[in-house]
Amino acid sequence: MSIVGSGSALAKQQDQWQATQEAHVTQGPLTTEAGAPVADNQNSETAGIGGPVLVQDQLLLEKLAHFNRERIPERVVHARGAGAYGTFTVTADVTRYTRAGFLSEVGKQTETFLRFSTVAGNLGAADAVRDPRGFALKFYTEEGNYDLVGNNTPVFFIKDAIKFPDFIHTQKRDPYTGSQEADNVWDFWGLSPESTHQVTWLFGDRGIPASYRHMNGYGSHTYQWNNEAGEVFWVKYHFKTDQGIENLTQQEANRLAGEDPDSHQRDLREAIERGEFPSWTVQVQIMPAADAATYRFNPFDLTKVWPHADYPPITIGKLELNRNPENIFAEVEQSIFSPAHFVPGIGPSPDKMLQGRLFAYGDAHRYRVGINADHLPVNRPHATEARTHARDGFLYDGRHKGAKNYEPNSFGGPFQTDRPLWQSTAVAGGTGDHPAPVHAEDDDFVQAGTLYRLMSEDEKERLIGNLAGFIAKVSRDDIAERAIGNFRRADDDFGKRLEAAVQALRG
């Protein structure tokens, strides 16, 4: 039985972890950072009564210097977030598909940490805005941490990471005006028709969830699972909220964002404090590797879904959030997630967005938090021990003591296993700046049109109104017309109604 093999073992592990954290909070005299007792924390030292402050008052200088450095660079994207700890419980046997240890038996539980976020807003932005929501989940498994970095939508705006900086620049503040500009947003989306599917999601009813508890999560990318026999399967993850889907209209969100900018963060924290632990039913779509080459859509295109009729979702587990962080900065702001954090039995796919993120996420954390970010309590493995030869760097804690820092060595150091975490993927052809392969039914509009036609008449009306309200702010007719044209190509009725709504608003 593994360290996380049962509910009682997991509870014991979590109690020990909590005790370790609480041990750092002690009673007694206030001290300096170096441990010396503080005699007076109310008055700075001066040259006589009413005189100038002395440079020898090291408590004052220490406090001011620390205060100036209390913040680290915020995330460029997903800056605004909230998080909680929880458990993942396996409810179905998936060993025929993957050899991942945390999925090895029904009933097995693994500790998790889930961070929710908005994408475009900065750290001080409001929660109730029209924006995708990040759904970044860390599994503290006995084979190392596994990070699943997704969103509350099953698709994304672009399919190649080389376009990501350009896309995010359009969502952030304009370098001249200092504000988000409709011209920039719709110019990019109009010139990038692959975004049509995600934009239809974003401006539909699910574009503004009522809370983090009342939305689904998705792995979004396609990942590899491989079993003990070395067989390969492609998978997509779905986290279906057990609280039910609840959303805000644009008008409700506008009011809430002004009245309570912290609405989603507060809702999550208070629900857990009340013992109303939010949960999600975890499902996967599974595609045998041999299906990929001839599937009607490119299965590694992040702007596409796999229709459920083709690959029905299979329920495999339950995710529950049941413990709030003790310190938001230490455990939410400094938490790091990387899609490159795999465990045996799980690996990447040729998804070009995923391939770019395998580098970009880790690089962002090394810059933002530091080279030893993985050593922080929220980020380091909880169910096993990290054994590496990496040493030194900012905030290195000396954990390796005098052990040798190279491999191979003859002094009992950690050694390689000779078994890769995932199976290799066959490739062919010359190197070059290749677009993604096109499959039989691939285009940038077919799934956006399908999504539109699945909506009720009321949902369509709200979608049209949300889109028209934003497009009407565009200053140039050609940018607005091109944007509308993409929705017309998805569905003729969609385009006609949107054009009429924009014209009515623009006069």
**Residues belonging to the active site:** 78, 151
Structural contact between residues 391 and 398, judged by C-beta atoms closer than 8 angstroms: no
In this structure, the number of other CB atoms found within 10 A of the CB of residue 188 comes to 21
Q: How far apart are CA 214 and CA 245, in angstroms?
A: 5
Output the CA torsion 370→372→375→381 (10° steps): 100
Chain-centroid distance, C-alpha 311: 24
Helix 457-471 / helix 250-259 crossing angle, nearest 10 deg: 60
- Fill in the amino acid letter for 423: Q
Structural contact between residues 87 and 93, judged by C-beta atoms closer than 8 angstroms: no
Distances (CA, A) of 69 to 62, 75, 77, 78: 11, 16, 21, 21
Nearest CA among 266, 260, 257, 262 for reference residue 213: 266
Provide φ and ψ at 448, rounded to 5°. Answer: -65, -40
For 318, the enclosing helix (H) or strand (E) is: strand 314-323
Structural contact between residues 285 and 236, judged by C-beta atoms closer than 8 angstroms: yes
3-state secondary structure 240-306: EECCCCCECCHHHHHHHHHHCCCHHHHHHHHHHHCCCCCEEEEEEEEEEHHHHHHCCCCCCCCCCCC
Structural contact between residues 171 and 129, judged by C-beta atoms closer than 8 angstroms: no
Upper half-sphere CA count for residue 106 (Cβ side, 13 Å) = 5
- Fill in the amino acid letter for 405: N
Q: How far apart are CA 123 and CA 61, in angstroms?
A: 28
